[in-house]
Amino acid sequence: MAAEPYYVTTPIYYVNDVPHIGHAYTTLACDALARFMRLDGRRVMFLTGTDEHGQKVEKAADDLGISAQDLADRNSANFRDLAARMGYSNDDFIRTTEPRHIEAVQHLWRVLLERGEIYLGTYAGWYSVRDEAFFAESELIKGADGKLLAPTGTGAEVEWVEEPSYFFRLSAWQDRLLEFYDAHPDFIAPHSRRNEVVSFVSGGLHDLSVSRTSFKWGVPVPNDPGHVMYVWLDALTNYLTAVGYPDTDSETFRTFWPADLHMVGKDILRFHAVYWPAFLLAAGIEPPKRVFAHGWWTNEGEKISKSLGNVIDPLTLVEEYGLDQVRYFLLREVPFGNDGDFSRSAMVQRVNGDLANGIGNLAQRTLTLIHRNCEGRVPDPDKGKIDGPDDIDLRLACGPSLLAKMRQDLEQQRFDIALQEMMAAVAKADVYITANEPWALKKTDPARMATVLYTLAEAIRSIAILAQPIMPDAAARLLDQLSVPEDARSFAHVEDQEIHWSLTPGTPLPKPEGVFPRLEDKAEA
Ligand code: MSP
């Protein structure tokens, strides 16, 4: 059976700001999924990029006294740079100022207009520039000084906007959206978020203003260039542009659309789970299969904000703790979908507990024993009696069974659970090593010693292969230490383990070196 293709997207990031941990987190989650699916033999399209139009960017550029295009060029480069330095494996990086995208959005606009889904009117209502969103008066909250604020918890002030505007007939899509959610129970995740969206839509939908006339920085509306498109209509369409829209007959489009997953933060779920499927259904295009809204990080218990000066720069974290350590921590620490708190002590505990004392220690012990007792070569298991029940048990637990569990978990974006399963496999290997005491077998039963060490090496090989999506560098170094060839590192080489042993006895191994150093807890010291 040919493996299904997999298309995963990050939100595209506003270029009014520098990259921070929130951006790094969303893209990291997608990167882990993309790597997992590729290793699992699937053809993957992993997309990220920058959202460059809109009033917010225009204002930020004005404040700096530069053109919006210059600001976009400068900050888009920062996001691209972050992607490179974080080792993200994105297949494309889209910018909404690119011609391919402008063509796609204008095409979608024409389709919606032709189908009678867009009409010209006048907008009079509240707008939050920070959120680039319209709000009904009933949704607003009063700030301490009596100012009206958007209900997004960002403290963003709203302003009154009155201008000619095109509208999308969102109100007409209420029932069809509810039917769509019903027919696709996995469309919105996690489940609690799904209920929020359903109750928002059930409460009634207003037509949505989809063009603006009071500023210029946007995609011109075809045949009415006094209007620029609403930045969210523009931005959401990037997911189509990158797979070749408007050429819906292209191989890329047919392979990857509908997208398997739009990963977003909880603050932008409404745009992805209400407006986006409505636009698509209205244009006769199939909506994506799933939208996952993840939670927000705080810093040592505090909300992260520029004004508090506690914004976390992902590159500083990486410098301090190591890239794979940061990747592991962010994906393991909180149940994916919940909010999480970044703290130094949590980071140190997690890295030392799971990585240094867990996988790292298991590998170091095993490789050192092999180095000392087996002449630094892959041990030759006693083929006649290798398959004692606990040998087989360990191989399955660290190999095919772990793969099967992780597949299920990652299909549902449960990174934390997948990593717990992995650590349970490591713990099982620790129990095996203690029970079998390979160090004591050298004199009494060297053949059994070789089998035990071979079994452990196989367990580590499988775990390292499965750890690659989360910790690509460290996993690669572990596999190097087992002399696993580059072309034998895909998940197929874990699944096949049941049939044959994969490490070749007698293969020389490099001198063992620790892969996960212990972090010092400065708070303790
Ligand atoms: N441009 C829009 C998205 C358009 S997608 C068609 C946008 N950009 S953003 O740059 O403001 O935010 C991007 C992502 O960063 C969001 O998913 C948001 O949830 C995430 N985060 C911002 N701060 C965050 C934290 N403190 N923690 C976790 N994620 C956070 O919205």
pLDDT tens per residue across span 149-174: 998 877 889 999 999 999 999 999 99
Confidence of residue 383 (pLDDT cuts 50, 70, 90): low
Give the mean model confidence (pLDDT) for residues 240-269: 97
Q: What is the mean pLDDT of residues 113-118?
A: 98
Among 268, 269, 296, residue to substitute to test ligand 1 (most atoms within 8 Å of Cβ): 268
CA atoms within 13 A on the CB side of 143: 12
Ligand 1 test: best mutation among 8, 14, 79, 262, most atoms within 8 Å of CB? 14
Which atom of ligand 1 has the smallest separation from the CA of 303? 26
How close is the Cα of 69 to the center of ligand 1, in Å? 21
Confidence band of 408 (pLDDT split at 50, 70, 90): very high
Alpha-helical (H) ranges within 1-122 are 21-39, 55-64, 68-85, 99-114
Is 253:243 a contact under the CB 8 Å cutoff?
A: yes
CB-CB contact of 495 with 356 (8 Å): no
Alpha-carbon distance of 263 to 290, in angstroms, equals 8
Model pLDDT, residue 525: 43
Beta bridge pairs of residue 166: 120
Place of tokens 């994105």: 90
pLDDT of residue 146: 85
- For residue 276, pLDDT over 80 is answered with yes
Give me ligand 1 centre to Cα 292, in Å.
13
Contact 22 CB / ligand 1 (< 6 Å)? yes
457 falls in which pLDDT band (50, 70, 90)? very high
Does the Cβ of 14 fall within 6 Å of ligand 1?
yes
| pLDDT of 316 above 60 | yes
Contacts of 328 (CB under 8 A, 6+ apart): 350, 351, 354, 355, 419, 470, 471
Residue 108 backbone dihedrals phi, psi, to 5 degrees: -60, -40
Residue whose CA is at the smallest distance from ligand 1 atom 27: 296
Nearest CA to ligand 1 atom 10: 13
Model confidence pLDDT, tens digit, residues 283-307: 999 999 999 999 999 998 888 887 7
Confidence of residue 273 (pLDDT cuts 50, 70, 90): very high
Residue 497 has pLDDT above 70, yes or no: no
Which of 20, 26, 93, when mutated, tests ligand 1's pocket best, judged by the most ligand atoms within 8 Å of its CB? 26
User: Ligand 1: which residue has its CA nearest to atom 17?
Assistant: 265
Distance 19 CA to ligand 1 centre (A): 10
Nearest CA to ligand 1 atom 20: 22
Total-model pTM = 0.95
CA 11 to ligand 1: nearest atom: 5
Mutate to test the pocket of ligand 1, among 93, 217, 234, 296 (most ligand atoms within 8 A of CB): 296
Question: In this predicted model, what pLDDT tens digit does every residue of 14-56 receive, in sequence order?
Answer: 999 889 999 999 999 999 999 999 999 999 999 999 999 999 9
Residue 525 three-state SS: coil
Longest Cα–Cα distance in the chain: 89
pLDDT digits (tens, 9 = 90+) for 117-146: 999 999 999 999 999 999 988 889 998 888
Residue of 271, 197, 395 lying closest to 14 (CA atoms): 271
What does the pLDDT read at residue 3? 83
Q: Which of 154-168, 416-430, 484-498 is least confident?
A: 484-498
Answer yes or no: are the C-beta atoms of 493 and 502 closer than 8 Å. Answer: yes
pLDDT in tens, 200-215: 999 999 999 999 999 9
Give the residue whose CA is nearest to atom 18 of ligand 1.
Answer: 265
What spacing in Å lies between the alpha carbon of 155 and ligand 1's midpoint?
Answer: 16
Ligand 1 contact, 304 CB (< 6 A): yes
- DSSP-assigned letters across all residues of 296-325: -EEETTEE--TTTT-PPPHHHHHHHH-HHH
Q: How far is the CA of 355 from the centre of ligand 1 (A)?
A: 29
Considering the chain, what is the average pLDDT of its residues?
94
Q: Could you tell me if the CB of 11 is within 6 A of ligand 1? A: yes
Cα(6)–Cα(125) distance, rounded to whole angstroms? Answer: 40
Q: Whose CA is nearest to atom 19 of ligand 1?
A: 265
Residue 297 CA: nearest ligand 1 atom is 27
- Cα 320 to averaged position of ligand 1 atoms, centre (Å): 24
Closest CA to ligand 1's atom 29: 22
357-379 pLDDT tens trace: 999 999 999 999 999 999 999 99
User: Which residue lies with its CA nearest to atom 23 of ligand 1?
Assistant: 22
Ligand 1, closest atom to CA 263?
A: 17
pLDDT band, residue 500 (cuts 50/70/90): low
Q: What does DSSP say about strands 228-229 and 6-9: parallel, antiparallel, or unpaired?
A: unpaired
Q: What is the pLDDT of residue 523?
A: 52
Say how many Å lie between the CA of residue 336 and the centre of ligand 1: 16
Does the beta carbon of 152 lie inside 6 Å of ligand 1? no
**Which residue lies with its CA nearest to atom 12 of ligand 1?**
13
Residue 23, ligand 1, Cβ within 6 A: yes
